[in-house]
Amino acid sequence: MMRDSIPTSAPFDDAALRAQLAAIIDSSDDAILGKTLDGIITSWNRGAEHIFGYTAAEAVGQHIFLIIPDDRRNEEDDVLARLRNGQKIDHFQTVRQTKDGRRITVSLTVSPIRDAAGVIVGASKVARDITEQLLAQEALQRTQLFTRLVLAQEDERRRIARELHDQLGQHITALRLTLETLHSLAVDRGELVNQVRTLQNLAEELDRDIAFRVWELRPAVLERLGLGAALAEYAGNWSKRFGIRVQLHLRAPTGAPLALETATTIYRLAQEALNNVAKHSRGDRVDIILEHTQDGVSLIIEDNGVGFDPSVTEGMTEGFGLIGMRERAALAGGHVQIESAPGKGSTIILRVPAPATRPVGTG
């Protein structure tokens, strides 16, 4: 009886295995490179070429400082010292420099390379470009901070509005009633009657001013009907109050609905810009353009006032509220552009991206 033959595995092909490993390394999207303990680059894959911009011919034989910024070279000395002690370095986040001078954030894993006798003769590095990942994380953190800040500001505005309405409103009502009593008591004293009437006019103006400020602090229409409707209402009331003509141009919304925080930011910036017009421009006309696109929202507020030189007033922008406007826009991921010249009026241009979170109507 013959025994069944047992198949044997193919002989181990060391050269084929090495070739396969080399192909895997060369095709990796990560930068994989080798270097001596003196920091001389000995190998450089296609991922390294893509990330750092140097070809293998340009990099091999050069010192690793080729891709390390001057202010990070002490890190490399520490890495080499740890490698000589046989330590592996996992996911070390640092900054490297590309051929075109860009600084990128990378995550490094560095392992010692040993010879046949087990002696450490070099190091292998795997570098992953995490710049975009970090930018995305920073953008998310900025958005979260922006949301918390806007909500906190609006809560504070509502609190102040309640106090103005409940406390000052009551005091003004009491004052007006008292002045009416004084007016009736002074009916036969002409000079006193005139003085009381003057006080009554002041009280009425103060009452209207408080009512305007309370309404300004609590734009309920923004949440109910959207940014376009809120701006239309505000511009109309502002125009009546300050006697300045306002023309509002609303372009049809496209894309996703505005986030509540974004809409609130645009609304508050419009308020600030219009208040600047009332305080400083001495003009008699304002044009407001609100335009929605797929990428975001643009708000343009243009007046025909006296204008100013932005370069001269750069150090005095606190008085115009421009620093606060720029900071608020930056938190929303946008920016504010100022265009003005003496005698030529002023234009405030706000551009803000519009993420579709917590949507409100866009009017």
Task: Flag whether 95 is in a domain.
Answer: yes
The domain boundary residue, chosen from 167, 191, 218: 218
Of residues 69 and 145, more confidence is placed in 69
Model confidence at 363, pLDDT cuts 50, 70, 90, reads very low
Q: From CA 314, how far away is CA 323, in angstroms rounded?
A: 9
Please say whether the beta carbons of 130 and 105 come within 8 A: yes
Task: Give the structural domain span for 187.
Answer: 130-218
User: What are the Cα distances from residue 192, in Å, to 182, 183, 196, 201?
Assistant: 9, 8, 6, 14
Task: Flag whether 8 is in a domain.
Answer: no
Task: Flag whether 2 is in a domain.
Answer: no
User: What are the Cα distances from residue 230, in Å, to 179, 222, 227, 363?
Assistant: 36, 5, 5, 8
Q: What's residue 306's pLDDT?
A: 93
83 CB-near residues (< 8 Å, 6+ apart): 37, 89, 110, 112, 120, 123
- In this structure, are 69 and 163 located in the same domain? no
Q: What's residue 137's pLDDT?
A: 86
> If you ran DSSP here, which 8-state letter would residue 6 be given?
-
Long-range contact list for 238-244, CB < 8 A, 24+ apart?
238/274, 238/278, 241/212, 242/278, 243/284, 244/277, 244/278, 244/283, 244/284, 244/285, 244/286
- In this structure, are 50 and 102 located in the same domain? yes
- In this structure, are 311 and 196 located in the same domain? no
Q: From CA 25, how far away is CA 36, in angstroms rounded?
A: 18
Name the nearest CA neighbour of 267 among 225, 305, 308.
225
Please say whether the beta carbons of 262 and 352 come within 8 A: yes
Q: Is the pLDDT of residue 65 over 90?
A: yes
Please say whether the beta carbons of 158 and 70 come within 8 A: no
Q: Look at the chain and report how many structural domains it folds into.
A: 3
- In this structure, are 116 and 134 located in the same domain? no
Please say whether the beta carbons of 29 and 47 come within 8 A: yes
Q: What's residue 223's pLDDT?
A: 77
170-210: per-residue pLDDT in tens?
Answer: 788 888 888 888 878 877 787 888 888 888 888 888 887 77
Q: What's residue 16's pLDDT?
A: 67
Q: What is the pTM of this model?
A: 0.52
Q: What's residue 311's pLDDT?
A: 74
CATH number at 292 reads 3.30.565.10
Q: Could you tell me what percent of the chain has a pLDDT over 90? A: 29
Long-range contact list for 98-104, CB < 8 A, 24+ apart?
98/51, 98/52, 98/53, 98/67, 99/52, 99/53, 99/54, 99/58, 100/53, 103/69, 104/51, 104/129, 104/131
293-302: per-residue pLDDT in tens?
Answer: 777 889 999 9
Q: Is the pLDDT of residue 345 over 80?
A: yes
- In this structure, are 114 and 139 located in the same domain? no
- In this structure, are 213 and 273 located in the same domain? no
- In this structure, are 266 and 362 located in the same domain? yes
The domain boundary residue, chosen from 110, 129, 148: 129
Name the nearest CA neighbour of 253 among 233, 228, 287.
228
Q: What's residue 21's pLDDT?
A: 63
